[in-house]
């Protein structure tokens, strides 16, 4: 049975693809069975008059850590008093401080928390997110985290793309034997994650004091043998050679890259790895070392932007605010930032043929704004004038 919806009187329809941003004036859009069926006038069962306002694709947030129990506002207080991320981690804060909460929480309690977080993502226009485990750091709690993502994904309108991230940090019980934890990930966790059948990607925090290049390579290659696609946290604090590794293993995405080297840039360009930049983390950590977006774009790297939403280093869910940071601190144009939060985010997940732009045959994931132009998205900074969010052709948020 056909189920159609028509959006008429769209003042400006804005969409991005690999070539950049395209704009259509005074257009309309037809949706059938959850997908875009035409960008022109055609009758639908139901008609929405957009009142001359702007319509864009929904945001694709390609890097988030939403499965945690406790907030970490105490660390925020420490940072405001001058402590660095590294100092907080040395005092028992950081990633490890979220582990106890996830291990002790029931699946139901975590589902409730994550459902609420997804409501907020939808309300600020995000229609697809990548979601990582990585606060369990033992087999049971990593599987529990992934099953939380699976359950929320089935019961919430947002689309979640699950990533296994057992290699997020070394849990306390392995602090003196890192190699044994790598063995656990490769010999037990990855096969169990594959048996569970939820995760699509495998991610590693390849960084000084976290996972070395050799350890990361082993984990990502083992994952690939089990059908998990590689992506990695790379060169966030220092150049550890992670971007080079990302190219060598053909990762879908290398993320952060604040300290990426020239040779790292060459490696990701030559192997078509998306660079996912996370300016919210730089901002939230009170740093000024934003990733070199301009240099990456000028070197023909595909740049995606994401929130890195997590309780410690980026308590940010808004992609419009990420666009503001990219435009103000990373020398990105508004059009580049928009392409990076939609089409390029989809590419970072290998989903650019399904989502990320307004094209016939793609999912009808759309935002109707109470705005007239793209420039107004970053310009409004803390205010997100959204009238409607449509996911798979259905209205899922209304102001």
User: What are the residues binding Zn ion (CB under 5 A)?
Assistant: 308
Residue with tokens 């997940």: 349
Question: Using CA atoms, how far apart are residues 346 and 161, in angstroms rounded to an integer?
Answer: 11
Q: How far is the CB of 334 from Zn ion (least distance, A)?
A: 25
> With contact defined as beta carbons under 8 Å apart, do 23 and 358 qualify?
no
Q: How far is the CB of 132 from Zn ion (least distance, A)?
A: 7
Question: Using CA atoms, how far apart are residues 303 and 297, in angstroms rounded to an integer?
Answer: 7
Q: Which is nearer to Zn ion, 30 or 220 (CB)?
A: 220
Question: Using CA atoms, how far apart are residues 365 and 358, in angstroms rounded to an integer?
Answer: 8
Residue 285: what are its φ and ψ, rounded to 5°?
-85, 0
Residue 51: what are its φ and ψ, rounded to 5°?
65, 25
Q: Which is nearer to Zn ion, 190 or 254 (CB)?
A: 254
Q: How many beta carbons lie within 10 A of that of residue 140, not counting itself?
A: 11
Q: How far is the CB of 261 from Zn ion (least distance, A)?
A: 20
Q: How far is the CB of 233 from Zn ion (least distance, A)?
A: 5
> With contact defined as beta carbons under 8 Å apart, do 3 and 390 qualify?
no
Q: Which is nearer to Zn ion, 207 or 308 (CB)?
A: 308
Those residues whose C-beta lies under 8 Å from the C-beta of residue 324, and which sit 6 or more positions away, are 378, 379, 381
- 3-state SS class at 180: helix
Q: How far is the CB of 146 from Zn ion (least distance, A)?
A: 16
Q: How far is the CB of 200 from Zn ion (least distance, A)?
A: 16
In the bound complex, which residue of the shown chain has the CB atom lying closest to Zn ion?
A: 308
Say if residue 154 is exposed, middle or buried (CB neighbours under 10 Å; 0-12, 13-18, 19+).
exposed
Q: Which is nearer to Zn ion, 150 or 308 (CB)?
A: 308
Q: Which is nearer to Zn ion, 138 or 163 (CB)?
A: 163
Residue 114: what are its φ and ψ, rounded to 5°?
-70, -35
Q: Which is nearer to Zn ion, 322 or 386 (CB)?
A: 322
Question: Using CA atoms, how far apart are residues 367 and 391, in angstroms rounded to an integer?
Answer: 9
DSSP H or E segment with residue 324: helix 319-329
Q: Which is nearer to Zn ion, 234 or 368 (CB)?
A: 234
Q: Give the bridge partners for 206, in sequence order.
A: 211, 234
Q: How far is the CB of 185 from Zn ion (least distance, A)?
A: 17
Say if residue 399 is exposed, middle or buried (CB neighbours under 10 Å; 0-12, 13-18, 19+).
exposed
Question: Using CA atoms, how far apart are residues 151 and 111, in angstroms rounded to an integer?
Answer: 7
Q: Which is nearer to Zn ion, 239 or 308 (CB)?
A: 308
Q: Which two tokens stand for residue 171?
A: 């849990």
Q: How far is the CB of 343 from Zn ion (least distance, A)?
A: 21
Q: Which is nearer to Zn ion, 205 or 369 (CB)?
A: 205
Strands 159-167 and 126-132, bridge-based pairing? parallel
Q: Which is nearer to Zn ion, 231 or 387 (CB)?
A: 231
> Looking at the chain, how many residues does it have?
399
Q: How far is the CB of 396 from Zn ion (least distance, A)?
A: 26
Q: How far is the CB of 278 from Zn ion (least distance, A)?
A: 7
Number of helices (H) and strands (E), helices first, in the chain?
16, 16
């Amino acid at each position: 049975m056909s189920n159609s919806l028509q959006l008429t009187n769209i003042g400006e329809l804005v969409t991005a693809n690999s070539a950049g941003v395209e704009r259509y004036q005074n257009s309309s859009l037809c949706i059938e069975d959850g997908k875009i069926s035409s960008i022109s006038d055609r009758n639908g069962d139901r008609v929405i008059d957009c009142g001359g306002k702007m319509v864009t694709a929904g945001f694709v947030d390609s890097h988030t850590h939403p499965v945690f129990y406790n907030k970490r506002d105490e660390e925020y207080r420490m940072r405001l008093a001058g402590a660095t991320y590294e100092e907080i981690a040395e005092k028992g804060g950081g990633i490890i401080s979220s582990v106890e909460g996830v291990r002790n929480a029931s699946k139901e309690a975590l589902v409730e928390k994550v459902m609420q977080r997804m409501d907020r993502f939808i309300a600020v226009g995000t229609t697809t997110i990548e979601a990582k485990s990585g606060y369990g750091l033992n087999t049971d709690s990593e599987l529990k985290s992934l099953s939380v993502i699976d359950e929320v994904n089935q019961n919430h309108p947002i689309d979640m793309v699950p990533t296994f991230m057992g290699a997020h940090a070394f849990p306390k019980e392995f602090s003196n034997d890192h190699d044994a934890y790598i063995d656990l990930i490769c010999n037990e966790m990855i096969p169990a994650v594959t048996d569970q059948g939820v995760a699509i990607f495998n991610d590693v925090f390849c960084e000084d004091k976290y996972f070395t290049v050799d350890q990361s390579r082993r984990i990502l290659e083992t994952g690939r043998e089990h059908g998990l696609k590689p992506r990695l946290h790379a060169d966030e604090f220092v150049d550890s050679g992670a971007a080079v590794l990302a190219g060598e293993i053909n990762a879908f995405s290398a993320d952060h890259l604040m300290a990426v080297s020239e040779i790292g840039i060459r490696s990701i360009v030559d192997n078509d790895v998306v660079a996912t930049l996370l300016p919210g983390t730089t901002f939230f950590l009170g740093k000024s070392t934003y990733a070199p977006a301009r240099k990456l774009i000028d070197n023909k790297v595909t740049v995606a932007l994401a929130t890195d939403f997590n309780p410690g280093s980026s308590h940010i869910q808004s992609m419009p605010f990420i666009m503001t940071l990219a435009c103000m601190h990373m020398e990105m144009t508004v059009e580049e930032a928009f392409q990076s939060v939609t089409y390029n985010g989809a590419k970072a997940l290998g989903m650019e043929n399904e989502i990320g732009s307004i094209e016939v045959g793609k999912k009808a994931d759309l935002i109707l704004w109470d705005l007239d132009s793209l420039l107004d998205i970053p310009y409004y900074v803390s205010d997100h004038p959204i009238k409607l969010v449509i996911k798979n052709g259905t209205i899922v948020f209304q102001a």
